Amino acid sequence: MSRNLRQLVSKKKRRYDDGEFNLDLSYITSQVIAMGVPAETFERFYRNDISEVAKFLETHHPDRYKVYNLCAERSYNHAKFKDRVEQFAMQDHNPPLIHTIPYFCTSVYKWLQNGPDYVAAIHCKAGKGRTGVMICCYLLYESYQGMREQEPTRLTADQVLDLYDKRRTHNKKGVTIPSQRRYVYYYAHVLRHNLVVESCPLVLRSVSVEGGLPSYPPSGGCCLFFRCQKLVRDFHQDNRSAHRPIGESEMCEPKRGQQSAIIPMSAPIKVNGDVKIVFYNRSKVLALCEELFHCWFNTFFVLNQPQDTPGALWRSRKREAAGLAPDEQDDKYLYLTLTKSELDKACKDKMFPDTFCVTLQFELPDPNSSDEDNPTDGLYRPFSYCSAPASSSAGCSTAAATASSPICAGALVDTRVASGPLSASSSSISTPAESDSEGGNCPVDGNGTDSRPRIELEPGCCGDEDLD
């Protein structure tokens, strides 16, 4: 009975079944495992029983495994896994904050350097979405470290997402939430172009919806508004989530059959770092608010938009369609347009036509604005990818790991110097990869300082780093 129930809960995910073990668990590579949460309570009857997971790991990878828990909503007795558990808590159905990705990748990378028979078992609750995002980011990161001597080419976001989809699910639907996929492309963009990701405050001036609007009974129309949120807790240090509202729009009541609308705002909204915008419909009859869709984005990538993100309609500086804020000069603005396929929840909602899209209009903040105009409260704490120990011969200094440092994409390549090269028998991924001459190690000068020219941003774009 329990076996059948677990099979039912797994749905289209691939399970590990060798006759002795039957677990919601898949090998993405020979060293990277994706699995559902190890459950201790009643959940163990329809999810992975924590005792069975521990027995499996001890049987197949004795003392050579480490468990990574991505759940913000789940915890368990770490002693079951001999305390080899590390937590990078994320909220369900959401992407990771951009600054948690390198911490995760570094930890997995260092653990797997111990030998080709070491494994990382990574899970969220279902072991699919959040697990897939972090595994895909790790595979991207790993491919930039020169770990696989037989396959030295760097992987793309499309390749790692496709690989995960095939090896974790039967229907090739592994990472399906648009915002989660967007962050995989963000990270691929950072690695490929060797970017330094910095705090990048912007001002959201206007939001428009185009391409046909949904119609809800009984009135046959909709009453739209949105709220902006930011995360003020670092999940790497605190499991509790704390989304703080930073602004909301006024109500917009488009007429029946109207194809586009501008959602009015009483005042611009200052945003920085990882931002979530949630769109609602307010029922005219019951006065209840229902979430329609939402999206996550990072302000740095509004200014430095990945051009190869599928479906992205990047409108930089100029805009051909009916202007937002027509009394202003349009070339002072930045635009981010997200299509239906890039909006969480809306992507699968038949109430939204395929032509539906949302356009966000930003401008750079006034460089002469005071600190009060651009408050810092822990939304975005930039740091460096450089995390080599002080005794390492790596070029990056330990000071780079402080909160005052930006994110340096290629620097972690040097961390392998301290631990020695990997064995030639390290796990390989049997997928084609295109060569890429860009990216690579973080160049350093004789003093161990990042010698790359920084991205030249317009005055006022990048303010002081936010602190907790």
Angle in degrees, CA 379, 384, 390, rounded to 5: 135
The DSSP code sequence of 388-437 is: --TTS--SS-GGGGSTTS-EETTGGGGGHHHH-PPPTT-----S------
Q: List all residues 6 or more positions away from 176 whose beta carbon is below 8 Å from its beta carbon.
A: 129
What positions carry a catalytic annotation? 124
Q: Which two tokens stand for residue 306?
A: 């990945």
Distance (Å, rounded) from C-alpha 272 to C-alpha 384? 18
Backbone φ, ψ for residue 313 (5° rounding): -110, 90
- 133's tokens: 């995002």
CA dihedral 346, 205, 378, 464 (to 10 degrees): 140
Cα(33)–Cα(119) distance, integer angstroms: 7
Give the Cα separation of 177 and 348 in Å (integer).
10
Strands (E) across 165-288 are located at: 196-197, 202-210, 224-231, 243-248, 261-263, 269-271, 274-282
Residue appearing with tokens 């586009």: 260
Whole-number Å distance between alpha carbons of 39 and 46: 9
**Which positions ≥6 away from 42 have C-beta within 8 Å?**
none
**CA dist., res. 108 & res. 90, Å (int):** 17
